[in-house]
Structure 1
C-alpha cells in the first residue's frame, strides 16, 4: 500500500426512537440498531452500543489481521476464537474514555511443532492491526494455542 493511498468507509445512522438509531452502509447489506448502553441514563439493554462497536472493531481487526498474516505465512490452523472486552473508565480530566481492550484469542492448530510460530503470528496480528494502531486505548492480548488433531 502506498502512503498516498486512502480508503473511505461510509456509515449512515437514522434516528429510530428514544436513544436508538439504525446504522447502515451502502457497502453492507445488513442494518444494525445502535443505542446508548444501559449503564448510562436512558440507555437501552439488548442493543449494540458505540462501546460494543468500538470493542468489536478492535477484535474484528485482530481477526482479519491474523487471517492475513497466517495466509501470507502459509500457516494452517483449525480454528480461531476471540473474546474481547472493553473497559471504560474516567481519564485524568474525569471524562469517560475507552481505556482498555482485552483480546482473548484461542488458536487451534493440529501440529504441535508449529506452536511457537502460532504465538508469534498471534502477536504479529496484534501489532499490525490498523484499528489498534489508531486508538488511544491500551490493547492487551491474551493468546493461547491449543493442539487438536482433527478426527
Structure 2
C-alpha cells in the first residue's frame, strides 16, 4: 500500500554537497554534519557517513514501531533499546547495504520480545521501505 501526497504528515528535507565526502544539512538547520567515507572504504573517517545516518534513523523509527506494537499487546518496553547495524559492501551491480536490527527489551521474556520485534518489523516505515530491497536480519 502506497502513501498519497495528501496523506503526508511531515516531510524532512536534507541537502548533500559533494556526496559521500562533503556535508549534509537539513533545511531547518537542526542537522548539519560533515560526511566522509569510513577509513575501511578509503576515506578519512573524519565525519559521519550515510550508513551511520541510516542506522540512526532506522533504529529510532524501529523503536517507535516497537512502542506502538507493545501498547497494542499490553507489553512493557520501557527501558528497551534498539540497535541498527548497517553494513555496506560490493554486490553484483555496485554496492548494497545489509541491516541487522537487535532489540534489548528487559521487562519481557525472550519469546515475547521476539514476537514484539517481528511485529514491529511489519509496521516500521523503514522496514516497509526496505522490504524486498535489502537484507534485514532481526536479532
**TM-score computed with the length of structure 1 as normaliser:** 0.71
Paired residues, number: 132
- 5 Å-filtered alignment, 1:2-151, equals 4=4, 5-13=7-15, 15=17, 19-26=21-28, 30-38=30-38, 39-41=40-42, 43-93=43-93, 95-98=94-97, 100-109=98-107, 116-135=111-130, 136-142=133-139
Matches of 2:72 and 2:13 in 1, distance apart? 30
Greater Rg, structure 1 or structure 2? 1
Matches of 1:58 and 1:78 in 2, distance apart? 19
Is 1:20–1:36's contact at 8 Å kept on the other side of the alignment?
A: yes
Structure 2 unaligned residues grouped into runs of 5+:
none
Choose between structure 1 and 2: higher helix proportion: 2
Distance change >3 Å, CA 108–CA 72, structure 1 → 2: same
1:103 alignment partner, SS class: strand
Is 2:80–2:104's contact at 8 Å kept on the other side of the alignment?
A: yes
Is 2:13–2:27's contact at 8 Å kept on the other side of the alignment?
A: yes
Choose between structure 1 and 2: higher strand proportion: 1
- Name 1:146's counterpart in structure 2: none
2:64 alignment partner, SS class: helix
Is 2:67–2:77's contact at 8 Å kept on the other side of the alignment?
A: no
Matches of 1:45 and 1:89 in 2, distance apart? 16
Is 1:35–1:44's contact at 8 Å kept on the other side of the alignment?
A: no
Is 1:34–1:50's contact at 8 Å kept on the other side of the alignment?
A: no
